Amino acid sequence: MLAFRAYLRGLIAARHARPHDDLLGQLVTVEMAGDRLSEAELLTTCVTLLTAGHETTTNLIGNTLYTLLQHPDQLQAIRQEPARLPNAIEEVLRFESPLQRNPRRLAQDYTYEGHLMGKGDFVLQMLGSANRDPAIFAAADHFDSQRQPNRHVAFGFGLHFCLGAPLARLEAPIAVQLILERMPKLRLAQPTAQWMQHSLVRGLASLPVVF
C-alpha cells in the first residue's frame, strides 16, 4: 500500500506540473464550493478507484469463462447468438459474484432471526449469499445464462451502488466475446479450476484451458 501510494504521489505531482485531461488530472483540479480534495483524500480516492475497478472486472471475466466452459450447451448457444452474452454475464455476476461482501456499521439496533445486533456494530452484507437466496431466485444454485428476471446485488444497492457498474458491463462482454471469437475450440484443460483463497473476492487463481 505504501508503494502504491508513493507511485500515485508521483503521478499526482506530474499532473500538478502539467495539467492533463484524464481522470487523475480532473481529480487533482476538482473543486466543489471552493473546496478541493486534500492529498490524503485524493490518494484514497485513487486507490479505491484503481482497486475497485481492476480486480473486480478481471475476476468477472475469468469467472464468466470458467462458468461458461463448465456449461458447454449454454456456451454453444451464446456462440451461435452473441446477443445472449450480456445476460449470461449478469448471471455470472449473480452466480459467482466477484465481490462477496460489503462492510457496514449499523445505524440502529436490529434483530435478525433472534440475533440482536446493536447500533454501531460492524456487520457484513453477504452479497454472494444474497445472490443465491432461494426466496428470490428460482433454482438459485443452477446457472441459467438467460435467467429473467435477475435482480442480483453483485454491484451492491442503494446509495453506494457501484460507480463502475456501467464500465464493467461494457468491458466484460467485449473481453469474453473476443476470446470466444479467437478461440473457437476453447475448452477446460481439467474439470475444475482453482479459486483464490479469499473471503472478499471471488476469482480464479488459475484457469488452465486448451484452445
Rule CB under 6 A: say whether 86 interacts with ligand HEM.
no
User: Minimum distance from CB of 210 to ligand HEM (Å)?
Assistant: 26
Rule CB under 6 A: say whether 92 interacts with ligand HEM.
no
Rule CB under 6 A: say whether 42 interacts with ligand HEM.
no
Please choose, out of 9-17, 154-162, 181-189, 190-198, the segment that lies near ligand HEM by the rule CB under 6 A. 154-162
Rule CB under 6 A: say whether 43 interacts with ligand HEM.
no
Q: How far apart are alpha carbons 67 and 143 in whole angstroms?
A: 8
Q: What residues does 112 pair with on adjacent strands?
A: 115
Nearer to ligand HEM, 11 or 52 (CB): 52
Distance of alpha carbon 19 from its chain centroid, rounded? Answer: 31
Rule CB under 6 A: say whether 75 interacts with ligand HEM.
no
Rule CB under 6 A: say whether 167 interacts with ligand HEM.
yes
| Structure letter (DSSP) for residue 35 | E
161: cell is: 451502488
User: Minimum distance from CB of 42 to ligand HEM (Å)?
Assistant: 14
Rule CB under 6 A: say whether 48 interacts with ligand HEM.
yes
Nearer to ligand HEM, 99 or 175 (CB): 99
The angle at the Cα of 199, spanning 173 to 133, to the nearest 5 degrees, equals: 70
Contacts of 211 (CB under 8 A, 6+ apart): 183, 185, 186, 187
Among 27, 123, 162, 209, binds ligand HEM (CB under 6 A): 162
Q: Which residue is nearest to ligand HEM (CB)?
A: 164
Nearer to ligand HEM, 57 or 74 (CB): 57
Q: Which stretch of DSSP H or E encloses residue 124?
A: strand 122-126
Q: How far is CA 190 from CA 92, 142, 181, 182, 187, in A?
A: 20, 21, 22, 21, 9
Contacts of 154 (CB under 8 A, 6+ apart): 93, 94, 97, 98, 99, 127, 131
Given the rule CB under 6 A, which residues bind ligand HEM? 48-49, 52-53, 56-57, 60, 98-99, 102, 127, 154-156, 160, 162-164, 167-168
